[in-house]
Each structure stands twice: as structure tokens, then as C-alpha cells.
A = this chain, B = another copy of it.
Amino acid sequence: MDALIRRLSFYSDLDDADRADLATLRGTIRNFRAHSEIITAGQEMDAVLVMREGWAARFKTLEDGRRQILNILLPGDIFDLQVLVAAEADHSVVTVTDGSLYAVAPAAVRKMLAGSGPLTMAFWWTQVQEEAFLREQIVRNGRQTAQERIGHLLLELHRRAQIVDQASADAMPLPLTQTQIADTLGLTPIHTNRVLRRLVRAGLIEMNRQWIRFLAPDRLAEMCDFDPGYFHLDAFRMRLARR
């Protein structure tokens, strides 16, 4: 549960008792291969799933096959806390890479959420953050140009990867295909490709099939109006300090 501990610790200083509580939540580990559909919309859920290793993507498809990725899931991300109250999934999840996840019994999670300690608050936090990612996704796809969207998404993923120790200061693994990026940003793969090439030619990024390097992160951030305030990282630490 390394990525999860790492992520929760980012918000809340967990002591040994908290870590022990977290251990009891662990549940079973399930491995998965790339491109497998872990959850299918309409399916009845029976466990809370937590990403352990690898990347995945929430998505919905329209009748005629158009696909929209809602959010990318990184290690440490929790999906379907909604299983606690909802019977069926309203969207699907597909894996991007090989990896593994924890499947936790809803009852254990519900018990943990009834508490009020640092662990509970940290969990709440991941949910608040997840919602902020969705909101940012709406702004990006609703009001930004293709170039801005791509830059913004890449910077968000980089920051999120850093939080769980999966990225260096100016580079990270990027296992997404250009089609997946396009489906995230409401674009066609063709246009996504053209814009990515343009960013490379402009000397802003460098990339291959598995990695991306940010050559001028500040210029990129300014170009696409990226302000990581919605991560609420500082705010939370301030609040902790205040208690």
C-alpha cells in the first residue's frame, strides 16, 4: 500500500496507530494486465478499489461509441467510494498499464469513515481532491484550446505523479497513448498528435512512447493557465497546523 500511504501522508501525518488501522483496511490484492476493463458501467460493485501500481482510466461511452475519459487513475487513487451508497457503477474503468490494486470490503471503509482522526480526514481529502480534478477537467475541456488542454493535463498528471513519488522534477513516465489523451480532452487523436508535435517543436516538451520531459515547465504553465491551487496542498497543511 505504498502509494496510498505516500498519498495520505502528504496531507496528514499518520502515526503508527494510523498505519496499523490502514493495514487492516488492506483487503486483497488483485493484479491486472494493461487494457482490461476492471469495472463496467451498470455492474454491481462489491468492494472499494484502491490503485496500488499502474495507471487506469475512468470513462463513459455514448451509444454510438464515442468515448470520454473522465479522469486518469494513478497509484494511491481510490475508486468507487460510491460503492458505499450506490449499488451500481455509473461509469467504467479500464487499465492503461499492467498493475495491481487493493479490493477492500465496504464495511471496513465505512467504519473508517465514521472516525474523525487523521486517517479519516486524509481519506476525505482524497475525495475532495478527486472532485477538484473533475471540476478542472470541465474547465479545461469547456473553455481551453487544444494546446492549452494538452499542456494543462500533462502538468496535472506530472504534479499528481510527483505526489506519489512516480516523477522527477521535470520528467515522468507517460504510458497513455495519444488516443487516450484525445479521449480525455475531447479531441481527435489526429489533432492531439499535431498539437503534441507543435509543443515538441516549440521546445516545451520532449517525449516518446513511455516518457515525457518538461523542458520549460514555467512557460508551459503560463501558456495554459495552470495553477495547482486546486490540489489544495497548502491549505490542508495550514489547517492541520491550526488544530
By a beta-carbon cutoff of 8 Å, the part of chain A in contact with chain B is 42, 58, 60, 62-63, 66-68, 70, 82, 84-88, 90-91, 110, 113-116, 121, 124-125, 128, 130-132, 134-135, 137-139, 141-144, 185-186, 225, 229-230, 232, 235-236, 238-239
CA distance A91 to B132 in the complex (A): 9
Determine if B124 and A66 form an interchain contact, defined as CB atoms under 8 angstroms apart: no
Determine if A229 and B90 form an interchain contact, defined as CB atoms under 8 angstroms apart: yes
Q: A131 contacts which chain B residues (CB < 8 A)?
A: 82, 130-131, 134
Given contacts A68-B138, A87-B238, A131-B134, 10 further A-B contacts (CB under 8 A): A62-B225, A66-B143, A70-B139, A82-B131, A85-B125, A85-B128, A86-B125, A91-B135, A142-B185, A143-B186
Q: What would 16 A/B residue contacts be, using CB atoms closer than 8 Å?
A: A42-B229, A58-B135, A60-B139, A62-B139, A68-B139, A82-B131, A85-B124, A86-B125, A86-B232, A87-B235, A87-B236, A87-B238, A90-B232, A113-B113, A134-B134, A138-B141
